[in-house]
Amino acid sequence: MLAKHQMLQDLTTMLRDVLAAQARGSMVARTARAQGHVDGYMRALLDSGLVGRDELLALVARERTQAFGPGSASVAAPLADEVAA
């Protein structure tokens, strides 16, 4: 069996490929199939007990941020006089 580190590396590679395909605007059927492979791989990791849910969520969040930037941005609160206007 592969070591945990190698399995997470494989998952990272698959995620990057899927996210890159989405960014390129690849055909929906092709990206959906690739997402299915990634989902199945993550399910296998979870079911085996090698990886926890939080660890997978952090990995996916990190890769999505690298591919598309942060999911949300900080917004400065309006000044009191701007709110009153």
Q: pLDDT tier at 65 (50, 70, 90 boundaries)? A: very high
Across residues 41-68, what is the average pLDDT?
94
Residues 66-79 pLDDT 10s: 988 887 777 777 76
Vertex 50: Cα angle to 15 and 5 (nearest 5): 55
Q: Which of 14, 4, 2, 6 is nearest to 63 (CA)?
A: 14
Residue type, 60: V
Question: The whole model's pTM is what?
Answer: 0.76
- Domain regions of the chain by residue span: 4-68
CA 82/CA 66 separation, integer angstroms: 35
Neighbours of 57 (CB within 10 A): 11
Q: Tell me if 42 sits within 8 A of 11, measured CB to CB.
A: yes
CA 61/CA 40 separation, integer angstroms: 18
